[in-house]
Amino acid sequence: RALNKTAQSAQSTAIKTIAQAIGTPQKVIKPFLSRRLAQRQQLTAVLSAPHSRRLPLLTIDPQARQNQRGVMVRAKGQRRQLDHAFIAVMMKNGHRGIYARKSGAARLPIRELQGPSVARVFQQPVVQTALHATIDDRWSVVLDHELQFALHQQGYRR
């Protein structure tokens, strides 16, 4: 239980740090992280970012606005103008995105503009340092608490 609770704290820290690094809400990052819980047979809890898929730019900044020159996007707290880009609904399922034509193309082909992948940001030293600090801080506290709980369940008193 101590491993799983520490992994939960580490996941929360990872979500906060990645969201801050990308400049997006935390709820966007959460589905991209995976946590495998420790069990009696395998005393290892694993936190990973298995999806190498990049985040669509409109997911990073849902308030992006189209203007005459292109699209104005906020990334990492800064506003950026993407010339010749446009916001469109491209599929029947209603997927909205920020698109740009390939250079030199009059009409087609177009491609959706994307930001960084959560997996790549997860591997950056800033995120890894925050994770290790959280694990180091929480592990001893949670382990002591869980040991005291188990002893109390067995009838031992302090």
- pLDDT tens digits for range 26-49: 999 999 999 999 999 999 999 999
- Cα–Cα distance for residue pair 97/158, rounded to 1 Å: 60
Work out the percent of the chain whose per-residue pLDDT is above 90: 76
For residue 70, what is the DSSP state?
Answer: E
Residue 77 tokens, joined:
């707290």
Packing angle, helices 125-153 and 2-22, rounded to 10: 160
Task: Note the pLDDT tens digit of each residue in 80-127.
Answer: 999 889 999 987 888 999 999 888 878 888 899 999 999 999 999 999
For residue 156, is pLDDT > 90?
no
Distances in Å between the Cα of 126 and the Cα atoms of 25, 78, 97, 108, 130 are 18, 20, 29, 39, 6
Span 50-57, average pLDDT: 91
pLDDT at residue 105, rounded to an integer: 78
pLDDT at residue 75, rounded to an integer: 79
- Cα–Cα distance for residue pair 54/111, rounded to 1 Å: 13
Q: 85 forms bridges with which residues in the sheet?
A: 100
User: Where are the alpha helices (H) located in the chain, listed in sequence order?
Assistant: 2-22, 26-29, 57-60, 118-122, 125-153
Q: Side-chain half-sphere of 140: how many Cα atoms within 13 Å?
A: 3
pLDDT band at 158 (very low <50, low <70, confident <90, very high): low
78-84 contact pairs (CB < 8 A, 24+):
82/113
